A and B are shown apart, each in its own frame.
Chain A
Amino acid sequence: MENQKRVKEIVEKHGAENVIVLIGGAEAEAAGLAAETVTAGDPTFAGPLAGVPLGLRVYHAVEPEFKNNVDSQVYEDQIGMMEMVLDVDEIIEEVSGIRKEYGKFND
């Protein structure tokens, strides 16, 4: 709830086109839920983003769009181990699917 409020405030201050949300959820379902919240709006209709379709650019830390844009050594040190642990394909499918469906900034 508190995070939804913070996302809403940041978007109001900087504009939706200038905000990228980076998520790190360990499960595809949870990551998808977070991605949906900042694009289509809170699917549980419980927080400040209920019915607020921000359509933000949202990526998971294991997605290539993020991975290829950061220092590979830093990525390896910080995320390399988790890449082995997480179901990366499932997470990418879930989050990129939601981004394509609800994202307003498909670039």
Chain B
Amino acid sequence: MNYSVVKAAGYVLVHAPDMIIHNGTTQTTERILNPDSEYLKNIKEHIRTYEEAVNYLPNQVYIGNHKPSELKEYQQPWYDKDIEDAKRQGKYGEIMPQDEFIGLIKIVDVFDLVKLTKEFTKEVKEKLEAHPLIKEDLISRLKEGEEIDTIENLVSNQGAEGIYNDGKLVGCVKKAHDVDENLNAHVLYENLVSKASGVLSALNLLAKNDINPEDIDYVIECSEEACGDMNQRGGGNFAKAIAEFAGLTNATGSDTRGFCAAPSHAMVVAASLVQAGTFKNVLVVAGGSTAKLGMNGKDHVKKGMPILEDVIGGFGLLISANDGVNPVLRTDIVGRHTVGTGSSPQAVITSLVTEPLDKNGLKIIDIDKYSVEMQNPDVTKPAGAGDVPNANYKMIAALGVKRGELERTQLNDFIQKHGMEGWAPTQGHIPSGVPYVGFGREEILEGKINRAMIVGKGSLFLGRMTNLFDGISIVMEKNPGKVDEEKGVSEEEVRNLVAEAMRDFATHLLGN
């Protein structure tokens, strides 16, 4: 089979301190239920500066400046440890400060819904002019800005959602309809944040991997937001909206949803589209969410910690036709949680991990690295949710023991060897399987590993349409280096086909 390959990866973060307070649902809910709570009074003291967010090991890993394997060299928690050489720019992307990102939200708004003050516009224009990827055509979209009185009036009397920076009102997102809740300012704010961070991910992926934007044929967007109006609430196509601003003039696209599992679903779809020959280059992309900022903030504050959920995440993956070099996506080693699978952890892990391996005569230990739900334990442990990747590795190892592929005493060794510490922000779809794809690609190219399994899982019941759980997995593997473009089959496959035909023939003779 002529598999597709993972050609490039991009990962970005946006530090969003004011958005934690004004847009994170834990905080907005608290403001409605307990407006005078101690939590809201003290929250500002627990918010990190941009420099602190940059100087944070998991964030430096996310953008590619440190490797996941380095995480275990530092004792947890990580938030109180300094990192040498922490940088804004990384091999895979960058950590953008909030003011520049607010500028980017304005830039990607094509309906003049985002209004920024004149003063803020001037400041942010200067900063964005120094940004290597935000070119003049984008910067000109910032325009001149509005008087602060106009913005205050829109927020106080016209249902606009305020945009804050350093505790000050610097702009707003207007509502786009008088009665349609799907076009109110809150929904549009979330969607524009998702779009802007998706655009930033795509721009970083293209620039840092030297990809020509015009080569992209198709985009699959896989965030957790929905855009549309009252007649088609999830009408969609964030994909095309992002493609427009990333300069992908030859691409169209569509959105794939599936809660946290969506990126893995998108990878499987992209790999299949490329392998089928429908498209040569498919970009899988997603921006992040403001709603999840400070989601576990109460627990962090209670424990005297900074609020660590202060970044919006984004990523992009380029799936391309086989070049004989980059790691292939094995569409024949795909695990699925089906309707009939059941919901016990054992059934889930079996369906996602061992069933596809069994079909291909592989064992659990034949996968060098498992990329599961790679949430940063610094965030989840103080909130009582434990170490999520570690729990996943324990389950895979325990299943290995039950199947007789591992000794019980090898449980911890397995986790050390085939697992990783988590580093991704808790942005739903962002930590699910995909954070390792960039590193995995590199480690396979360097010959350090041969195979990685990317596992995405999703909690569908949150949408109240089904109580079912969901998940999908795919294996990324070292490229054997042989490409037969004309016939679309490798030499090895031809040998197998001939051998099969000979066997059939022999059986036939014996039968007669």
Give the contacting residue for B395; candidates A30, A77, A82; CB below 8 A.
A82
From 307 to 344 in chain B, residues with beta carbon under 8 angstroms from any chain A beta carbon are 342, 344
- Residues in A neighbouring B385, C-beta threshold 8 A: 27
Minimum Cβ distance to chain B for residue A46 (Å)? 9
A84 closest partner in B (C-beta): B398
Q: Is B67 an interface residue (CB 8 A)?
A: no
Give the contacting residue for B346; candidates A26, A27, A81; CB below 8 A.
A81
From 292 to 306 in chain B, residues with beta carbon under 8 angstroms from any chain A beta carbon are none
Give the contacting residue for B345; candidates A27, A29, A30, A81; CB below 8 A.
A81
B395 touches A85 (CB 8 A): yes
Given A79-B344, A82-B395: A27 in contact with B384 (beta carbons within 8 A) = yes
A85 touches B386 (CB 8 A): no
- Residues in B neighbouring A79, C-beta threshold 8 A: 344, 346
B384 touches A29 (CB 8 A): yes
Give the contacting residue for B402; candidates A26, A27, A29, A81; CB below 8 A.
A81
- Residues in B neighbouring A29, C-beta threshold 8 A: 384
From 201 to 226 in chain B, residues with beta carbon under 8 angstroms from any chain A beta carbon are none
CA distance A14 to B77 in the complex (A): 47
Interface hub of A27, A80, A82, A85 (most chain B Cβ within 10 A): A85
CA distance A29 to B384 in the complex (A): 7
B395 touches A81 (CB 8 A): yes
Q: Classify the secondary structure of B's interface with A.
A: helix
A interface residue numbers (CB < 8 A to B): 26-27, 29-30, 77-82, 84-85
A82 touches B346 (CB 8 A): yes
From 385 to 415 in chain B, residues with beta carbon under 8 angstroms from any chain A beta carbon are 385-386, 391, 394-395, 398-399, 401-402, 408, 411
Minimum Cβ distance to chain B for residue A24 (Å)? 9
B34 closest partner in A (C-beta): A46
- Residues in B neighbouring A27, C-beta threshold 8 A: 384-386
A85 touches B401 (CB 8 A): no
B384 touches A26 (CB 8 A): no
Minimum Cβ distance to chain A for residue B461 (Å)? 11
Q: Is B444 an interface residue (CB 8 A)?
A: no
B398 touches A81 (CB 8 A): yes
A33 closest partner in B (C-beta): B384
Give the contacting residue for B391; candidates A26, A30, A78, A80; CB below 8 A.
A26
CA distance A29 to B299 in the complex (A): 14
A29 closest partner in B (C-beta): B384
A85 touches B402 (CB 8 A): no
- Residues in A neighbouring B128, C-beta threshold 8 A: none
List 22 contacting pairs A-B, 8 Å CB cutoff, sorted by A.
A26-B386, A27-B385, A29-B384, A30-B384, A77-B344, A77-B346, A78-B346, A78-B347, A79-B346, A81-B345, A81-B346, A81-B395, A81-B398, A81-B399, A81-B402, A82-B344, A84-B401, A84-B402, A84-B411, A85-B345, A85-B391, A85-B394
- Residues in A neighbouring B342, C-beta threshold 8 A: 78
Minimum Cβ distance to chain A for residue B473 (Å)? 17
CA distance A80 to B391 in the complex (A): 15
CA distance A86 to B411 in the complex (A): 13
Q: Which 8 A-B pairs have the closest CB atoms?
A: A84-B398, A81-B346, A85-B394, A78-B344, A81-B398, A85-B398, A82-B345, A81-B399
Q: Is B349 an interface residue (CB 8 A)?
A: yes
Interface hub of B398, B401, B408 (most chain A Cβ within 10 A): B398
CA distance A80 to B395 in the complex (A): 11
CA distance A81 to B342 in the complex (A): 15
B399 closest partner in A (C-beta): A81
B384 touches A81 (CB 8 A): no
- Residues in B neighbouring A84, C-beta threshold 8 A: 394, 398, 401-402, 408, 411
Interface hub of A27, A30, A78, A84 (most chain B Cβ within 10 A): A84
